[in-house]
C-alpha cells in the first residue's frame, strides 16, 4: 500500500524542496515502513553533509536511499521536514551525551568540566552536519528556525542546571540563569565550531580546561585550575 501511494507521488514535480502543498505523513505503522523511513533519514544525513542543505534535492536523497522518488512523500512532506528530523537525531545525540554527566557525586566544577568535554565530543561526532546547519541557518529562515529550536533545547538544560546550583548556593545569586546559559553556551558552541568545523588547531585538554575555567569563573564556582604539561 505504501508503494502504491509512492507511485502516485512519483508523478509530481520535484518542486517541494523546502515546503509547499505536501502534508507531513503520519508515522509508519509497519516494520517495513519504519525501515524505509529510517533509510531515508540516514541517506539524507549523508547527502546533506556532502552537498549542503541548499544544494540537496529530494532526488539526491531518494537515490542515496535506493528508493523510488515518490516514496519520499509517503514519509515526509518536504526537504525541510526531513532536515528537521535529521537535526532532531543530532540533538538527541547531544542530549544523550549530556545525560551521561551525573547530577550527583561530583562537585559543580567537575560537572561543568564533564559537560564541556561531553559537548565537544558530541560536536566532533556531528561536526559535518553542524557545519551544514550553521551555514544554511544564515540564509534560510526555515533552517534558522530549526537551528534556534536546537539551541533552545541546549540552553534550557543549561539554565535548569544553573538554577539548581544557584538554589544550592553554588552559583552567584545575582546572575540571571537564562542569560548566563545563553552567553556561556554560546562560548562553548562557537569554540567548537571554530575548532571542529573551521579547523582551528586546538588541543582537547587545553580547550576543556580553558572553557571550564571561564565558565566557572563567570558563575562564581570555586575551582582550582589544572596544570597541563
Q: How confident is the prediction along the chain (229 residues), in pLDDT tens digits per residue?
A: 444 333 333 333 344 565 544 455 567 768 888 999 999 999 999 999 999 999 999 999 999 999 999 999 999 999 999 999 999 999 899 888 888 877 677 899 999 999 999 999 999 999 999 999 999 999 999 899 999 998 998 899 999 999 999 999 999 999 999 999 999 999 999 999 999 999 999 999 999 999 999 999 999 999 988 888 7
CA-to-CA distance for 196 and 199, rounded, in angstroms? 5
Query: Of 86, 3, 2, 76, whose CA–CA distance to 41 is shortest?
Result: 86
What's the pLDDT at 102?
72
CA-to-CA distance for 11 and 23, rounded, in angstroms? 16
CATH 2.130.10.10 for the 2-77 domain, yes or no: no
Query: Which residues does 37 contact at the CB level (< 8 Å), separation at least 6?
Result: 27, 28, 75
What's the pLDDT at 97?
86
The CATH architecture of the domain made up of 83-219 is: Orthogonal Bundle (1.10)
CA distance to 41, 115, 145, 177, per residue, from 222 (Å): 44, 16, 37, 17
CA-to-CA distance for 27 and 33, rounded, in angstroms? 9
CA-to-CA distance for 14 and 44, rounded, in angstroms? 16
Judge whether 175 and 223 are in contact, CB under 8 Å: no
Neighbours of 190 (CB within 10 A): 11
Name the segment(s) of the chain with CATH classification 1.10.357.10. 83-219
CA angle 157, 162, 163 (to 5 degrees): 100
Name the segment(s) of the chain with CATH classification 1.10.10.60. 2-77
Q: What is the pTM of this model?
A: 0.83
Amino acid at each position: 500500500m505504501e508503494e502504491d501511494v509512492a507511485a502516485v507521488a512519483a508523478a509530481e514535480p520535484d518542486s517541494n524542496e523546502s515546503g509547499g502543498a505536501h502534508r507531513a505523513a503520519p508515522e509508519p505503522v509497519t516494520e517495513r515502513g519504519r525501515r524505509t523511513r529510517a533509510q531515508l533519514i540516514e541517506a539524507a544525513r549523508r547527502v546533506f553533509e556532502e552537498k549542503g542543505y541548499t544544494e540537496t534535492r529530494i532526488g539526491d536523497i531518494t537515490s542515496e536511499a535506493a528508493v523510488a522518488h515518490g516514496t519520499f512523500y509517503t514519509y515526509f512532506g518536504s526537504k525541510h521536514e526531513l532536515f528537521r528530523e535529521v537535526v532532531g537525531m543530532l540533538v538527541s545525540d547531544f542530549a544523550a551525551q549530556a545525560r551521561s554527566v551525573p547530577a550527583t557525586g561530583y562537585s559543580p566544577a567537575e560537572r561543568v568540566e564533564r559537560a564541556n568535554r561531553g559537548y565537544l565530543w558530541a560536536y566532533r561526532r556531528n561536526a559535518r552536519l553542524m557545519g551544514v546547519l550553521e551555514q544554511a541557518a544564515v540564509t534560510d529562515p526555515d533552517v534558522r528556525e530549526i537551528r534556534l529550536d536546537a539551541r533552545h533545547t541546549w540552553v534550557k538544560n543549561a539554565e535548569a542546571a544553573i538554577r539548581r546550583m544557584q538554589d544550592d548556593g553554588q552559583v552567584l545569586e545575582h546572575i540571571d540563569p537564562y542569560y548566563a546559559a545563553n552567553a556561556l553556551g554560546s562560548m562553548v558552541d562557537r569554540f567548537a565550531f571554530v575548532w571542529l568545523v573551521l579547523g582551528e588547531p586546538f588541543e582537547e585538554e587545553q580547550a576543556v580546561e580553558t572553557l571550564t575555567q571561564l565558565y566557572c569563573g563567570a558563575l562564581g564556582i570555586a575551582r582550582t585550575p589544572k596544570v597541563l604539561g
